[in-house]
Amino acid sequence: MKNISFFLLMLCASISFAQDASKTQNVILVTFDGYRWQEVFKGAEKKLISNKKLVKDVDALKKNYWSEDKLASREKITPFLWNTIAKQGSIIGERKCASKMQVTNIHRFSYPGYSEIFSGWGNRKINSNDYPDNPNHTIWDFLQADEKFKNKMVAVATWDAFPRIINTKRNGVPVYVNIKDSAGKCSSGNLIFEGWNEKCPASNGFILTDSLTYHFAKEYISKNHPRFAFIGFDETDHFGHEGQYDSYLHSANQLDGYMQDLWNYIQNDPQYKDNTTLIITCDHGRGHLGMKMWKHHGGLVFSSNKIWLAAIGAGIKNQGVLKNGHFYQKQIAATITKLFGKKFSEEKKIGKPIDAILN
Ligand SMILES: [Zn+2]
C-alpha cells in the first residue's frame, strides 16, 4: 500500500510537471525596430504630431491618432496592444507606473540589441550593425541542439543583418530576408511571393517592406508550424530616422494590425490554439528631448536604452500593465526558454527569466 501511494504520488508529480512544461509549446517573438515606449504608453506626442516639418498632413494624422487623452491616443495607434494584450496578457515598460525595462548593452542600436535579446547579455564588443557573424551563444543554438526543436524554428525579417545576428551559418536555422533564405534561394513555393518580391517598392535601398515580411512569415508559419519563430520588422526605425512622424505612426499602427491578424490566426489554428505565446518587443528606444532627438538612438542618446515588452498567450499572466519592477532586454532569452520548460544558461551574466509575467 505504501509503495502504491508512493507510486501514485510520483505519477501525479510527473503529470503535473508534464502539464506545466507543455503549457507553452510554441513561441512567436516579434520586434518593432526602434518603436519608442513613449508612443506605446502615452500615444502620439503633441509637439511631434503638430509639427509640419515632421508630418505632411497634420489634420489628417491627428484625426487618426490624436486625442488629448493619452490613453485614447495610444489605443488609436496600437489597438491590439491595448484592447487585447492589455486585457489578456502582460505589458512592461510604463515608466509612470515604475515598470521599467531597458537594454543593458552600451550601444543602444540594432545589432547589439538583437544580440542581447537572443543571447541574454550585452556583449560590448558587438559594436556595429555591420558586425560579422554573432560570436555569442544564443537561444537559436541552444534550441537547435534539442531534437524537439531542431528544424522547427524560423526567422523572417526585413533587415538583411539577421542571418549574421542569428548566425545561421553556425546553427543552420533558416533566416529569411526579402523572402530569400540565407543561401539566396527564393524560399516559398507559393506563387504570390515570387511576384511580390520584385513588384513591391522598397522603403529604402537596403530593405523591402514590413508588409512582405509579415505576409511571408504568416505563410511560412501556417505551412510549417515552427515551435519558435521570430519576425523582425523594420519600418518604425526607418521612418524614425527619416524624421517622418506620420509614417512612423502609420507603421506602428500597421504592425499592430498584423499582430491582431497573427493572434487571430494562432487562436484559430488547431496546432497553435491555447499553447502558443506571442511576445512583442523592440531592440532599442529613441531619444525624446526636443524636436530632433526622437529620430535618433545610440550610446550618446539619452533615454534610447528604454524599451517595452508585451506578451500574451500560454504561460503568460493576465495582468495588463505591470505596475512596478525593473526589467532588462537580456532577460528575454531565458524567459523564452523557461516558457518551453528549459533553462537557457547557468552563466551569471545571462539575464534571468522575467518571472513577473509568467504563470
Ligand atoms: Zn536605427
Using the mean position of ligand 1's atoms as its centre, give its distance from the Cα of residue 275 in Å.
34
Using the mean position of ligand 1's atoms as its centre, give its distance from the Cα of residue 42 in Å.
21
DSSP secondary-structure letter at 201?
P
Rounded to two decimals, the pTM is 0.90
Does residue 83 belong to any structural domain of this protein?
yes
Using the mean position of ligand 1's atoms as its centre, give its distance from the Cα of residue 336 in Å.
25
Range of the domain at 93: 26-357
pLDDT at 313 over 50: yes
Using the mean position of ligand 1's atoms as its centre, give its distance from the Cα of residue 356 in Å.
29
- Taking alpha carbons only, the member of 80, 97, 98 closest to residue 89 is 80
Using the mean position of ligand 1's atoms as its centre, give its distance from the Cα of residue 296 in Å.
7
Total domains, the chain: 1
Using the mean position of ligand 1's atoms as its centre, give its distance from the Cα of residue 8 in Å.
57
Does residue 21 belong to any structural domain of this protein?
no
Does residue 174 belong to any structural domain of this protein?
yes
Does residue 318 belong to any structural domain of this protein?
yes
What is the structure's pLDDT at 202? 52
Q: One-letter amino acid identity for 219? A: E
Q: Which residues of 111-149 are buried (b: 16+ CB within 10 A; e: fewer)?
A: bbbbbbbbbbbbbeebeeeebeebebbbbbbbbbeeeeb
Spatial neighbors of 42 by CB under 8 A, at least 6 apart, are: 70, 73, 74
Overall average pLDDT of the 31-60 stretch: 97
- The per-residue pLDDT for range 47-95, each reduced to its tens digit, is 999 999 999 999 999 999 999 999 999 999 999 999 999 999 999 999 9
pLDDT at 15 over 60: no
What is the structure's pLDDT at 7? 47
Using the mean position of ligand 1's atoms as its centre, give its distance from the Cα of residue 19 in Å.
41
- The per-residue pLDDT for range 162-190, each reduced to its tens digit, is 999 999 999 999 999 876 666 655 455 45
Using the mean position of ligand 1's atoms as its centre, give its distance from the Cα of residue 297 in Å.
7
Does residue 1 belong to any structural domain of this protein?
no
Residues 93 and 101: beta-carbon distance below 8 Å: yes
Using the mean position of ligand 1's atoms as its centre, give its distance from the Cα of residue 129 in Å.
10
**CATH number (domain holding residue 326):** 3.40.720.10
Does residue 245 belong to any structural domain of this protein?
yes
Read off the pLDDT band of 23 (50, 70, 90): confident
Does residue 230 belong to any structural domain of this protein?
yes
What the block records as the C-alpha cell of 22 is 507543455
Using the mean position of ligand 1's atoms as its centre, give its distance from the Cα of residue 218 in Å.
25
Using the mean position of ligand 1's atoms as its centre, give its distance from the Cα of residue 341 in Å.
34
- Taking alpha carbons only, the member of 349, 352, 346, 302 closest to residue 326 is 352
